[in-house]
A and B are shown apart, each in its own frame.
Chain A
Amino acid sequence: MWSIYKASQKEVEGSEAWELSRQFPYAVSHDVTNTVFVTTLDTAIEPFILPQVTTDGEKLSEDEQAVIAAKWLFNQSNKAMWLTKSQALMLFSHPAHRLWCAKYEEEQAVQFESDYNYVKQFLDSVGSQVVWPEFSTDITPQQARSLMLQGLSQVAQ
């Protein structure tokens, strides 16, 4: 299992993220906000385990898992989210993660437009009321990230 903490937690001496960062000083923070550790801390308190199935045993889709992860990460400040390596890779490859990280290079314009439209529809489908303008080349990745943040603030309550 891997774990994700708020990046700021690494600076809190004695915290779980601080403990892990001594073992993994170069743990990656793709989005600046959250840090991924390729392990878990045995003594972690009440970690949230990202589900792969519903309480009825139905398999959750990648989008459904992404929504659960996004809501939880939006609301949490100091506890760990535990997830499998496969889940981490799935979330990392999800359009919402790319848009959230907002690190598109010049040759990734097509990818940016595709991700923008995907996430717009994706957040609409889970109840966001944010009005996303039609994609244009004037829209920057940072603007898209702001729209995502607004949308998440509505659906994560």
Chain B
Amino acid sequence: MLGLNLNLDLVGRFGTGWRQIKRYITSLNAAGGMYYELSESRTLVGDFEFAFEFATSMSSKAVLLSTFTDDPSEYLNISINFFGSSGLLKIASLGQTPDEGSIVVNDGVMHECSLVFDSSTSLLSLYIDGSLDYSTTHANPSKLLGMFRHFIIGASKLSTGDGTGNLCTGDIMNFRLWVGGDRNTGTLVGDYPIDEDWTHGNVVRNRAAQLGGELAPSTATISMPSQYASVAIPNSGSLVAGKKYLYSMRVVSAPEGSACRLRSMGTSNNLYSSVGGRAYGIGTADAGSITLQGSIVGEYVIDELSVREIPSGYPYALAVNITEDEAEQFTKVDDGANWLGEERWAYGDVNFSTNDPAWAYKPSVDTSLTVGETYKGSFVLSNTSGDAGVDMVSGTINVSGGFKNEDGTYDGIFTASQTNNRMRKNGSPTIVTDVSNISVKRLIPIAQTNLVVV
């Protein structure tokens, strides 16, 4: 889902410029096992801070952020727990961290969560939208510090080490990690917007990482001498075994029916790509030169070739079980209070005449909404006669529902109770009305309007 990021100046209420901000927000869906995982582990030493923004409205426990050692039981999670409540945050680590928060956060509103660790007191402090939610001590800091820790965003590792659990349904973005201090005193080693388009496939950029120099020429023509041979790409640099690299390539031409891959990136990180296909990923290199492997004998031409080292300690992130189809572009005005998604109404204007029976739907079928998500709907009625009444169904926006504005337009916010979103003629068959300017966009309210905007 590609698009342009446009920064448009609007006139604010006080005459100042408002900047429109566009982001590709991808909703995590627990049913699909979606989460993000950092590409390598990171040691925590001394003080540290994690921060991210999230919006959820779940009904069962989920983990927003999990960090753990090679032993999954040595975890430190930020989870939304339900102890008979509406969902409160808890710092969890196998009985080492008592208590839980008190600020209601599982309300569909975008909050900023921050966890700060003070190594001198072993105190973990959880902040919501800049306010302290609660603090707790870690009973065994030796299980927290000085070890390589993996990171998962939106789930936790199962204690068996096999797969993930406590999956989150909701929106998470702007994950940041400071070590050696907090956001004011520490070093920023992870800065993941998690809100970009899919130009880079499932790779999430780490804005804190300074990639190494380019190791590959931008284009290459390779003659594959035999099936599945690996051929060194001319004029390319050397790889170091075990190091992580960010790589990409596009297949310009290749033998019919073939597949090829950058063989050098380790067997578990190979990417296949057909003609015209583009590969982008993170690989752990085996030693040696950068090689292309082809499945069929013949000539392979590739461009957009790039291989750059990811500096140790500055991991990238990978989107797991998330596809481009899940990305939706949201727009926000930078002193506004909501993120607004893409237009879901695809049917133009709707006209209801006396030929339409009472309770007639237009369109007859539509499945553009997700149950439980919040939307902003709006429309305009004109040329109305009879006992006027038109509903936007799946919500509660209607003529009599109190959503009429002074200028005669209708708008309101609703939580979808079904996937259908349609205009419905009310109970009287005598209604004649034109419905125009119909709009339905997903809406994520923001708890505070001064969130850092990058």
Contacts and interface: CB of A to CB of B under 8 A. Distances in A.
Interface of A: 2, 24, 26-30, 36, 38-39, 84-86, 88-93, 98, 103, 105, 107-108, 110-111
13 contacts: A27-B321, A28-B32, A36-B31, A38-B34, A38-B322, A39-B325, A86-B367, A88-B31, A93-B31, A98-B60, A108-B61, A108-B82, A111-B82
Interface in B314-337: 320-323, 325-326
Given A28-B167, A89-B31, A91-B31, A110 B84 contact: yes
A116 B31 CA distance: 21
Interface of B: 29-34, 59-61, 81-84, 163-165, 167, 169, 320-323, 325-326, 367, 370-371, 419
Contacts of B167: 28
B33 A84 contact: no
A38 to B, nearest CB: 4
B328 to A, nearest CB: 12
A28 B370 CA distance: 21
Nearest to A97: B31
Nearest to A90: B371
A93 B326 CA distance: 19
Nearest to A53: B365
Which 4 pairs, one residue from A and one from B, show the smallest C-beta to C-beta distance? A28-B33, A92-B31, A88-B31, A38-B32
Contacts of B419: 84, 86
Contacts of A110: 84
Contact of B61 (A38, A86, A105): A105
A28 B163 contact: yes
Contacts of A89: 29-31, 169, 370-371
Secondary structure dominating the interface of B: loop
A111 B165 CA distance: 17
Contacts of A98: 60
A107 B31 contact: no
A2 to B, nearest CB: 7
Given A38-B321, A86-B371, A105-B61, A27 B31 contact: no
Contacts of A107: 61, 81-83
Nearest to A84: B367
B41 to A, nearest CB: 17
A86 B394 CA distance: 14
Contacts of A2: 31-32
A124 B336 CA distance: 51
A89 B168 CA distance: 12
A30 B158 CA distance: 11
A36 B33 contact: yes
Nearest to A22: B272
A67 B341 CA distance: 34
A26 B34 CA distance: 9
A26 B320 contact: yes
Contacts of B163: 26, 28-29
Contacts of B322: 38
Contacts of B32: 2, 28, 36, 38, 85, 88
A26 B370 CA distance: 24
A134 B31 CA distance: 30
A93 B32 CA distance: 12
Contacts of A26: 33, 163-164, 320-321
Given A38-B33, A89-B31, A89-B169, 17 more contacts: A2-B31, A26-B33, A27-B33, A28-B321, A30-B33, A36-B32, A85-B29, A85-B32, A89-B370, A103-B165, A107-B61, A107-B81, A108-B60, A108-B61, A110-B84, A111-B60, A111-B82
Nearest to B419: A86
Contacts of B164: 26, 28
Contacts of A29: 163
Nearest to B318: A26
Nearest to A38: B32
Given A2-B32, A27-B33, A28-B163, A85 B370 contact: yes
Contacts of A88: 29, 31-32
A36 B34 CA distance: 11
A3 B332 CA distance: 34
Contacts of A92: 30-31
A62 to B, nearest CB: 9
B271 to A, nearest CB: 11
A102 B81 CA distance: 18
A93 B83 CA distance: 18
A91 B31 CA distance: 8
Contacts of B82: 107-108, 111
A38 B163 CA distance: 16
A38 B32 CA distance: 6
Contacts of B84: 110
A27 to B, nearest CB: 6
Contacts of B29: 38, 85, 88-89
